[in-house]
Amino acid sequence: MKIGRAEVLRIEEYHGLGFPPKAFLPDWDEQLVEKHLHWMVPDHYAPGDGRLVGSIHSWLIRLPNLTVLVDTCSGNHKHRPDSPFFSMMNSRYIENLAAAGVDPDDIDYVFCTHLHIDHAGWNTRLLDGKWVPTFRNAKYLVSRTEFESLVGEETPSGDDLNLIVDTIQPIIDSGQWLPIDAPFQLCDELLIEASPGHTRGHCHLTLSSGDGRAVFSGDVVHHPIQVHIPSWNSSACSVTEAAVPTRIKMLEELSETGTWLMPVHFAKPFCCRVGAAQDHGFICIME
């Protein structure tokens, strides 16, 4: 899609069945979701399978003089003992990037909204048995708070430790790692701001170009039902008391300004605009 003078492309790693709803959204209530089934089934919820439907993708923003990749999915061949769904993936992500006309060397900046395994994975790829930066010419932007809260853990273990070793350390070693303090203005049209809650240092990116505006929201919202019921956190949200106010504040701004919401895990059509609901909360406007 075109947003002002920017071209925005979705680069897919996975699209299909996701987690069981109650496991991923602990407040999931069959009675409450009943009135939403008409728009959720089958694109966003597969009740027959007892699973949500979702996606894992990056957003690529192409400005005339800058190419930015937002979030880098899970990556291939990564050992994730705590999260079998994301472990040893073998997706066609790089082929999908090529199909969009993008060479990994074209990327100027990678921006990870946060440091979960499904948002930083393609930072690196396996080459001759070594983890090397996938995007050789890019600077990798990440919130300093996010970075410090991950590496500052007393004894990182399991997936967190693996993420540091196979996905973050190689970027530090290559000199491409760039911790930032939000708010951070990347260029005239791109602004990174803090949105704590899903993680402590979570950030989102706003693209404003011409009349167009889009918010690349990372995991402030995972599933479109959370637009309608923003008080529902995911089981992966770590600062739960901050996640709900952050989500509501973002949805309010989006609904007041007609801004596109560009999440990482919404299934087809993958993004939406946000409207105010008649009672309270918001609605997804999918086109």
Instruction: CB nearer to Zn ion: give 12 or 219.
Output: 219
Instruction: CB nearer to Zn ion: give 190 or 237.
Output: 237
Distance of alpha carbon 8 from alpha carbon 21, whole angstroms: 30
Instruction: CB nearer to Zn ion: give 118 or 166.
Output: 118
Residues 202-231 interacting with Zn ion (rule: CB under 5 A):
219
- The number of residues that bind Zn ion (CB under 5 A) is 2
Q: Smallest distance, Å, CB 198 to Zn ion?
A: 8
Q: Smallest distance, Å, CB 35 to Zn ion?
A: 27
User: Beta strands 130-133 and 139-143: pairing type?
Assistant: unpaired
Distance of alpha carbon 118 from alpha carbon 264, whole angstroms: 9
Q: Smallest distance, Å, CB 218 to Zn ion?
A: 7
159 near Zn ion, judged by CB under 5 A: no
Beta carbons of 195 and 202 less than 8 angstroms apart: yes
Element at 97 (helix H, strand E): helix 93-99
13 near Zn ion, judged by CB under 5 A: no
Instruction: CB nearer to Zn ion: give 75 or 212.
Output: 75
- Residues 6+ positions from 204 with CB-CB distance below 8 Å: 113, 192, 193, 195, 215, 216, 217, 218, 220, 250
Instruction: CB nearer to Zn ion: give 13 or 118.
Output: 118
End-to-end CA gap in the chain:
12
What's the chain's Rg over C-alpha atoms?
A: 18
Among 116-124, 129-137, 157-165, 226-234, the segment contacting Zn ion (CB under 5 A): 116-124
Element at 145 (helix H, strand E): helix 144-151
Q: Smallest distance, Å, CB 119 to Zn ion?
A: 6
- What does DSSP assign to residue 52? E
Closest CA to 81 of 159, 164, 167: 159
Instruction: CB nearer to Zn ion: give 208 or 226.
Output: 226
Q: Smallest distance, Å, CB 192 to Zn ion?
A: 17
Among 74-82, 113-121, 245-253, 273-281, the segment contacting Zn ion (CB under 5 A): 113-121
118 near Zn ion, judged by CB under 5 A: yes
Q: Smallest distance, Å, CB 187 to Zn ion?
A: 25
Name the site residues for Zn ion (rule: CB under 5 A): 118, 219
